[in-house]
Structure 1
Amino acid sequence: MQAVHGTVDPAEIAKFEAMASEWWDPNGKFKPLHMLNPCRLDYITRQVAEEFARDLNGSEPFAGLRILDIGCGGGLLSEPMARLGAEVVGVDAAERNIPVARAHAEQSDLQIDYRHTTAEAMAADGEQFDGILNMEVVEHVADPLDFLTVCGQLLKPGGIHICSTINRNPKSFAMAIVGAEYVMRWLPKGTHEWQKFITPDELFDLLSKAGMTPVDRKGFVFNPLSWQWSISERDLSVNYVTASLKPA
């Protein structure tokens, strides 16, 4: 088994290890991700389809594409990408997540290569991917620039990197920490650390320094009246997502 190292923060990994068994419970500790997932998938699939000129109305539009899902957890993104025909590798530094993901993929009759390892270890092995999903991970690593640089190394020239995280401002503190952890109790207290949040401009700068070219950013906005998430062109005040390309 590949040892974990590099930009992994052991304290952050321990938080998610403790919740591993609840990944596929839509009303459990990962309820926020289950609610957000359709919105995330809409953004991801549109960006990948546009970059590789794929028709999302086809049966397996991502056939022939190799996709890496970093911090895959229980496979909430890996599984739909596999259903779209991609060859998916899901990696997580939290060891307990991998058996959960493997078991659910088997129940779903999906072939997904799940591994307990890190982006650094995969880059050292010379792995290459057409696309990388880096969703809600960068705010949990020890060194965001080092981590994103490794992500860039894992991309093939012309590949796409999709990264979502949480903005750093008073509103994000109120909603992502006070609201989600203390009021709604969607997440265990201490899941997020506000000082680790990254502003969109900071993330674009980090992505550029990591050797990628940022090409898009959108907000994920929660409507408490409809109880649904949507993609916003302008509101990046709390949750947001970016797309970057590796120069060909």
Structure 2
Amino acid sequence: MQAPLNTVDPTEIAKFEAMAAEWWDPNGKFKPLHMLNPCRLDYITTQIAGEYERDLMAQAPFKGLRILDIGCGGGLLAEPMARLGAKVVGADAAERNIPVAQVHAAQSGLAIDYRHTTAEALAESGEQFDVVLNMEVVEHVADPLGYLSACKTLLKPGGLHICSTINRNSKSYMMAIIGAEVVMRWLPKGTHEWSKFITPEELYDLLGQAGLTPVDRKGFVFNPITWSWSLSPRDLSVNYVTASVRPA
């Protein structure tokens, strides 16, 4: 199935354009992502190392791998991938995110190819990667299947796709919208739309329709007592992540 030329939702892009300058403030509007990032990186690096038989204790374990971080924002995931030796392309449909990411990468001494573009445009140009990171994006696009189909096209045969999103149930509404946007005020009101959240079963079905083979899923679980995130093989009730591969 051919992906549509553009699955970008302009309303969603405008939300993140307005917050672009705060990407690297750990106490700003992206505080939830800063808190979640170590847990996300644990999952991502473990999956990549397993798929490509890399030793994470080695120097530059991802050397030789080309990684796309789609919806890269300010570079919270792109920079660690570059530090691990990968050649990284960071792409975002929100134009104001790109200079923020470029400046921070330069300050950090990292060479990352940041682009203001979409998954569909990259796929149409023939770009391909060993790994596509698709984190907290699919719930913001206008056409999830079209978007995931573009992500599949961007993978080399045998390549790894890692996708995280938010489950759709009463608990996710209370935690991701009421808790994060209203009570804690970590995010501006309206950042998320509960109706666009995707259940794990729905995401697995979409991944299969897009031509990807799901191989793993885990939950990201927040502990309000320790104020920290952890991975869970069973609790996918709010935030969760999946790994899938493009058949060789």
Using the size of structure 1 for normalisation, the TM-score is: 0.98
Shift of 1:52: 0.2
Amino acid aligned to 2:235: D
Q: Which residue of 1 aligns with 2:63?
A: 63
1:240 aligns to what SS in structure 2?
A: strand
Distance 2:80 2:128 in 1: 21
Q: Which residue of 1 aligns with 2:210?
A: 210
Matched, 1:171 2:168: no
Q: Which residue of 2 aligns with 1:183?
A: 183
Amino acid aligned to 1:92: D
2:127 aligns to what SS in structure 1?
A: coil
Task: Provide the aligned C-alpha RMSD in A.
Answer: 0.5
Amino acid aligned to 2:51: E
Q: Which residue of 1 aligns with 2:231?
A: 231
Q: How many residues align?
A: 244
Distance 1:229 1:187 in 2: 18
Shift of 1:59: 1.0
Shift of 1:245: 0.4
1:21 aligns to what SS in structure 2?
A: helix
Distance 1:230 1:118 in 2: 30
Amino acid aligned to 1:41: L
Q: Which residue of 2 aligns with 1:111?
A: 111
Identity %: 79
Q: Which residue of 1 aligns with 2:44?
A: 44
Within a 5 Å distance, the mapping from 1:1-248 to structure 2 comes to 6-248=6-248
Distance 1:146 1:211 in 2: 11
Residues 100-159 of structure 1: CA deviation (Å, up to 9, x unaligned) = 000000000000000000010001100000000000000000000000001000000000
1:131 aligns to what SS in structure 2?
A: strand
Distance 1:91 1:153 in 2: 15
Shift of 1:72: 0.2
1:7 aligns to what SS in structure 2?
A: coil
Distance 1:205 1:120 in 2: 20
Residues 27-78 of structure 1: CA deviation (Å, up to 9, x unaligned) = 0000000000000000000000000000000110000000000000000000
Shift of 1:195: 0.2
**Runs of 5+ unmatched residues, structure 2:** none
**Runs of 5+ unmatched residues, structure 1:** none
Using the size of structure 2 for normalisation, the TM-score is: 0.98
Distance 1:204 1:243 in 2: 10
Distance 1:125 1:70 in 2: 15
